[in-house]
């Protein structure tokens, strides 16, 4: 009986120790910062997306007074920049919604990239045009 009792405690200890491991499924995050200007002036407010399309990974950071900072996953990332304002036109008496006033070539059709790497400054500056 003592052997069975000892085996149960040993098994219980093993199960508990496996449940308490510190493995994380969270991806590595790296600090980034930078600026976004629109027509040579700091973008008042917007969002900058760091995307890895093949992995479905998206990190979004707020742009305030032309500056952004935060943590994103490392690697070669596609950059998309968006800024919204009330939509023009619409039905009288109804909320017209919002529209992205940054051209598609800087968001849905963006070719902008950033290589986010561990141990580097990771400061990125983007100048976009409304034309």
Instruction: Go through the domains of the chain in sequence order and give each one's CATH number.
Output: 26-88+97-128 (2.60.40.3540)
Q: Mind listing the pLDDT tens digit for each residue in 32-65?
A: 999 999 999 999 999 999 999 788 889 999 999 9
**Token pair for residue 100?**
């992205």
Q: How confident is the model at residue 8 (pLDDT cuts 50, 70, 90)?
A: very low
Look at residue 11 and tell me whether its pLDDT is greater than 70. no
- Give the separation between CA 28 and CA 11, rounded to whole angstroms: 33
Higher pLDDT, 89 or 120: 120
Question: What pLDDT is recorded for position 91?
Answer: 62
> What are the beta bridge partners of residue 77?
114
> What are the beta bridge partners of residue 35?
67, 125
User: Could you tell me if 30 and 122 are in contact, meaning their C-beta atoms sit under 8 angstroms apart?
Assistant: yes
């Amino acid at each position: 009986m003592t052997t069975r009792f000892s085996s149960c405690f040993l098994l219980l200890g093993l199960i508990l120790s496996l449940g308490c491991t510190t493995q994380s499924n969270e991806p590595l995050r790296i600090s980034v910062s930078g600026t976004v200007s629109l027509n040579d002036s700091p973008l008042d407010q917007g969002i900058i997306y760091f995307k890895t399309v093949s992995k479905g990974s998206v990190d979004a950071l707020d742009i305030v007074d032309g500056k952004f900072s935060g943590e994103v996953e490392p690697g070669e990332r596609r950059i998309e920049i968006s800024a919204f304002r009330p939509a023009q036109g619409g039905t009288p008496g109804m909320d017209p919604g919002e529209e992205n006033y940054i051209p598609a070539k800087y968001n849905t059709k963006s070719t902008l990239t950033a290589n986010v790497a561990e141990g580097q400054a990771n400061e990125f500056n983007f100048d976009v045009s409304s034309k």
